Chains A and B, each alone.
Chain A
Amino acid sequence: MLLTGQDKEKTLISRLVKKHGRQQSSLIPIMQSVQAECGFVSEFAMQYIADLIGISASEVLGVATFFHFINKKPKGKFIIRLSRDMSSIMKGAKSVARQLENDLGIRFGETTPDGMFTLEWTSCIGMNYQAPAMMVNNEVFSNLTPPRVHRVIEDCRQEFNARRPTVGNVGETYANTLNYTNHEINSGLQRAVSVSPSEVIAELTVSGLRGRGGAGFPTGIKWNLASKAKGDCKYIICNADEGEPGTFKDRIILGKYADMVFEGMTIAAYSIGAREGVVYLRWEYTHLKPHLEAVLEARRKSNLLGADILCQKGFCFDIRIHMGAGAYVCGEETALIESLEGRRGEPRNRPPYPAERGLHGQPTVVNNVETLATLSCIISRGAKWFSSMGTERSKGFKLFSVSGDCSRPGVYELPWGITVDQLLETVGGQGAKAVQIGGYTGQLVPARQFDRRLAYEDLGIGGSIIVYSAERDMLEVAENYLEFFVEESCGQCTTCRVGNQKLLEGIRLLQQGKCSNRYLNDLISLSETVKLASKCGLGQASPNVVIALNAHFKEEIMARPILGAA
């Protein structure tokens, strides 16, 4: 019997539903698999999935349209996504973009008529130290120049004819990670299971470790809350949705020290009594998945995962990898949980906090990749060792992803408390005009404040450092940031959804020399409102750049000639 396309989709979906289960949390994995098979998720497929897992088709469409990497329409065989982060723009992404448009004869957002190539911008793919960079399907290409992308396109065309797999080319990243290198794998876990869970939590609390994702919540306190919360099945989630533009340290950790991350998750499971672990891996890091699966499998074989871990009766824990689908806001822990449950990745109202009621209503600890890796070292070598580094309120060391106008970009493991000046010296960024500390949501520090310290007391930060040299146009920087926030806002709250759009329009007015002082004041006042009244960390931080520009670069931004004036 001849099968129609729809029959095939039905068979495929039925198989996938059987594999992933008939619940809403299977929705995104099912759509990803349908896309892998069919290239996109059709309306028919959405309706059929909805029927099988018992939700409305509208809900499926709402989720599908929330995420970047779920195609609602057929796209090219090769989907080229050029990174639009500031590091890429500074290193010539725009000329690369022109080359791509010329080579393919299409604009961004379009697909070639032969259905071969689709061209898109994407927010940040974690390759800032080798910018500009792009992805072709799941492969990453970095250090791009116009001639190089031309060759990549040629390779794709030939590869398609030859049916050979493409090989992405990523250079080595400069990484200085001494403490991680010295960590004896699983020594932290061995030590953890030799004492009681509460002792592990106490050790962590004493160490003063704070969340490395950016918010800086004390890890020990989070674990303590989760360990006390009642629940049948607690969860440990590793937040590997590293989306902050300019950050790539988690990618390096997952590539080089995956064992340490899983070790950290297992210690967490032991401490709070969790049975299930999830690595929420951003879609842009799909290329890491086979490696991570292999490490997990090896750990299962060594009795480091599974039942009765390390012969501890009743200590059962396993880890699975869940692929993100392209949404920066899913780095926010409640949005991440929403998307794990198969819904739009929109941050929840808090309280309740995930430690009390998280994934599937169960107590859930969400920790950043770096937090988990670092705590393995801490449990192995002791809180004292860790807290001997850093400052009064910022203990230990931190990994920084450095990119932009400096001669030695890369990942640096540095103790807390160094000044911006010292950092710039280390990475070869002397003479900078400003430094973005802590990614787009962090703070833009002008040269005259380079004596400020990297520490929670002063510039408490995530891990992204972008260096801007004297010739950089700060309005272009702000425009790029706000374009990013407008794109990545989940869109639920008014202040973030519309407010950021108005701030972006304001920056464009400034670029054209058409922004009055009065309107600039309105924009600054609006920035304060967006920070104060938005629901989650994205909106609460997105206007920082506007405020910083007004505070530190007002003369520069108000000095633009009026565009179009004679």
Chain B
Amino acid sequence: MDTFPSNDESQPAADAADAGNHETAPVETEVPLIAVTIDGIDVEVPYGTTILDAARRVGLRIPTLCHHDDLCTAGVCRICVVAVEGMRTLQAACATPVTQPVKIQTNTPAVRTARRHVVDLMLSNHYGDCTICKRNNNCELQSLAKEYGVDYYRFGHPTEPKYAIDRSSPSVVRDMNKCVLCRRCVRTCSELQGVGALLVKGRSVRSRIATFGDKPLSSVVCVNCGQCINRCPTGALTELDQTDEVWAMLDDPTKHVVIQTAPSPRAAIGECFGLEAGSQVTYQLNTALKRMGFDGVFDTNHTADLTILEEGTELIIRLYQALVQGDTDIALPQFTSCSPGWVKYLEHFYPHAVPNLSSAKSPMQMFGALLKTYYADKKGIDPKDIVVVALMPCTAKKFECNRPELCSSGFKDVDYALTTRELAKMVAESGIDLPHLPDSPFDEPFGDGTGSGNIFGATGGVMEAALRTVIEVVTGKQVENFFDHANILPVRGIEGARMAEIPISEVGPVPDLFKPLVPDWDWLRGVTLRVGIVHGSANAKMVMEDIKAGGPFSKCHFIEFMACPGGCLGGGGQPIPTDAAIRAKRSKAIYQIDSDFAIRKSHENPVVLQLYREFLTDGPCGHIAHHHLHTHYSPRGKFMS
């Protein structure tokens, strides 16, 4: 596998000096060990290890706030200060590398007083009542206040709000009255996501987190990924809560309310109920949803499979036009379009590349369109009475389902996209103890999905699902002949941007489904399929620049892009906290679910095949499919009024 130098997940950007430097690949070098003594405990750590990491090695917990393992060092909140022998002042443990043998104390009177003061000072500017805060019981500031025994407001407390709450965005709500200026959101937005919707404005006590020109968030370049929410230590950034609206629909007897659930929330929602990260609760969640009153519980994986067929077919058509018919106007590489954060990112930053995006709708939107047409027909329900709710790991889905062009049935494909966190709240509100529920299957007429659909939740998953199908369709042989257990390992991994090459050495007959499109596969014999996998928008930016410059990614045929680090399992709607270790556990769960499925290939999904027989009768990328399952995009640019 070809590794592109990237913002590598396995190398969290811990070193301040290397922050934002995406050009150098991590190099393994001999690092000398330095002996340090922390609170009397001797430990040897590699040169340059931060005091924070050194302390973690010996099981000492130093409190942090502005520090986040995904982000570069800031060293601004000062809660992690420790006493270092020979230094006049206290040092921030997160920002101080060990470069020589030293004695460190993490629990002196001066350190305790300083930490207490830091919390006191933050609270003196933090307006908000814990009991009515979304982050109640999951707030880092609240925990620190408890930890440091804050029992009164030593330096005062604001009695009224300073800023109006910004609810303009369909995804993110900003309440700057609760902000403690740790700047994690700013660093997330610029470092991880390469968007720069947020900035530190002004200086001194007047400095605050702002948008460009202090415009409402909906009017600036924001991709709605919600990564900032996932990294906010307080309730300053939260998702736009739609649970009340969904409850109102559930309580309305005239509405037929159905829900489709994406793969990632199943591997994460347990965290909201005290389960270990990576616990699978797919079928227990079905039970919960049914008890809450949903009239149908469906698996988004079906339309993930449908996406593979539509997007895969589109790729085949593009390749055929480019390679056989010699059409030089065909936009290649083709980009995936499942991640609404990525789609909006492209529309803003690389509007000229909109033709490269697959015109296939995301699985969520496809399912919505089918529910209001095919399903409505089957059930004999007027589509106007059907309410489609989607459980997603994503805040950008809230924006996506409101795109005006996504309404092929005449109604919005999807009415509400709930995040994992919102649904967890609804489950709790219903008095349901999720971890102890019995299992329930998904509802008919769709039933269970496939393994391929499930791995859409992890970075590389879409690509792996697509390749499983492409390889079998083109070669006419089982993918297991080429990859053990159909696990296409070359596309798995955690590097921020990576490439894989799949040589097509043999071809078979064209299956019936594709006969209208191509006469034979001979033109693919000997072709090496080059694919790319990218996650995190900052990496997407790098790859887009690489393509612009004619670099290795410009030679790809197909690239999977996910806006969020780790793919959907690290989405902005997932439980807080989300970090590299938690993402790894969720990822493991998702691949485990995949390998447990009997059917693991999209083109073998009986529901999909049935859809092509009964509803999308002119096949993948046919007229009917185009009407319901495909869309178009709008170049937005960076200049916004």
Contact = CB atoms under 8 A, between A and B. Distances in A.
Contacts of B121: 494-495, 498-499, 502
B398 to A, nearest CB: 22
A4 to B, nearest CB: 14
A244 interface: no
Interface string A508-539: 00000000000000100110110111110000
Interface string B151-179: 00011100000000000000000000000
Contacts of A486: 204-205
Interface in B112-130: 113-114, 117-118, 121-122, 124-125
Contacts of B114: 495, 529, 532-533
A488 B202 CA distance: 11
Summarize B's interface: helix, strand, loop or mixed. Answer: loop
Residue of A491, A495, A532, A540 ringed by the most chain B CB atoms within 10 A: A532
Contact of A56 (B97, B181, B195, B639): B195
A9 B78 CA distance: 42
Given A51-B638, A494-B118, A502-B155, A62 B76 contact: no
Given A349-B16, A361-B17, A526-B155, A494 B181 contact: yes
A59 interface: yes
A118 interface: no
Contact of B118 (A59, A495, A540): A495
A540 to B, nearest CB: 6
Given A495-B121, A535-B76, A65 B205 contact: no
A528 B113 CA distance: 9
A234 interface: no
B374 interface: no
Given A61-B213, A62-B200, A357 B17 contact: yes
B78 A349 contact: no
A522 B73 contact: no
A217 to B, nearest CB: 13
Contacts of B75: 349, 493, 535
Nearest to A503: B155
A510 to B, nearest CB: 15
B321 interface: no
Interface in A520-566: 522, 525-526, 528-529, 531-535, 540
B203 A498 contact: no
A351 interface: yes
A226 B99 CA distance: 17
Interface stretch (B88-96, B273-281, B624-632): B88-96
B110 A532 contact: yes
A349 B207 contact: no
A540 B198 CA distance: 29
A214 to B, nearest CB: 15
Interface residues of A, number: 49
Contact of B89 (A351, A505, A533): A533
Interface string B486-517: 00000000000000000000000000000000
B538 to A, nearest CB: 11
Interface in A466-503: 486-495, 497-502
Residue of B78, B207, B210, B221 ringed by the most chain A CB atoms within 10 A: B78
A499 B118 CA distance: 9
B122 A498 contact: yes
B190 interface: yes
A57 B154 CA distance: 39
Given A56-B195, A349-B96, A534-B78, A526 B16 contact: no
B16 A497 contact: no
Nearest to B77: A494
Contacts of B7: none
B118 to A, nearest CB: 5
A489 B203 CA distance: 7
A349 B92 contact: yes
A122 to B, nearest CB: 14
B89 A493 contact: no
Interface in A299-346: 327, 344
B186 to A, nearest CB: 8
A59 B190 contact: yes
B76 A61 contact: no
A43 interface: yes
Nearest to B639: A47
B207 A497 contact: yes
A59 B196 contact: yes
A290 interface: no
Given A62-B200, A344-B200, A494-B181, A529 B113 contact: yes
Interface string A365-399: 00000000000000000000000000000000000
A109 interface: no
B212 interface: yes
A349 to B, nearest CB: 4
Contacts of A528: 110, 113
Contacts, number: 150
Interface in B53-107: 73-79, 81, 89-90, 92, 95-97, 99
A47 B196 CA distance: 12
Nearest to A64: B201
Contact of B122 (A352, A492, A494, A500): A494
B602 to A, nearest CB: 38
Given A349-B16, A349-B73, A495-B117, A62 B199 contact: yes
B238 interface: no
Contact of A522 (B17, B154, B200, B211): B154
B199 A47 contact: no
Contacts of A351: 96-97, 99
B199 A489 contact: no
Nearest to A47: B639
B206 interface: yes
Nearest to B183: A492
B181 A65 contact: no
Given A47-B639, A526-B117, A534-B78, A502 B201 contact: no
A285 interface: no
A61 B203 contact: no
Given A58-B212, A61-B212, A349-B92, A491 B78 contact: no
A526 B204 CA distance: 18
Given A57-B212, A59-B190, A349-B92, A494 B205 contact: no
A62 B201 contact: yes
A497 B181 contact: yes
Contacts of A532: 81, 89-90, 110, 114
A497 B204 contact: yes
Interface string A394-424: 0000000000000000000000000000000
Residue of A46, A357, A361, A493 ringed by the most chain B CB atoms within 10 A: A493
Residue of B16, B17, B92, B199 ringed by the most chain A CB atoms within 10 A: B199
Interface in B240-291: none
Residue of A327, A486, A492 ringed by the most chain B CB atoms within 10 A: A492
Nearest to B349: A56
Nearest to B87: A532
A348 B16 contact: yes
A493 B155 contact: no
A270 interface: no
Interface string A60-74: 011001100000000
B584 interface: no
B197 interface: yes
16 contacts: A56-B196, A57-B196, A59-B190, A61-B199, A62-B199, A348-B16, A349-B95, A489-B203, A490-B203, A491-B202, A491-B203, A491-B206, A492-B200, A494-B78, A502-B124, A532-B114
Given A56-B190, A349-B92, 19 more contacts: A57-B212, A62-B200, A327-B203, A349-B96, A361-B17, A489-B203, A489-B204, A491-B203, A491-B206, A492-B76, A493-B76, A502-B124, A502-B156, A528-B113, A532-B110, A533-B78, A533-B81, A533-B90, A535-B92
Shortest 6 CB-CB contacts between residues of A and residues of B: A56-B196, A491-B207, A58-B199, A349-B95, A498-B121, A62-B199
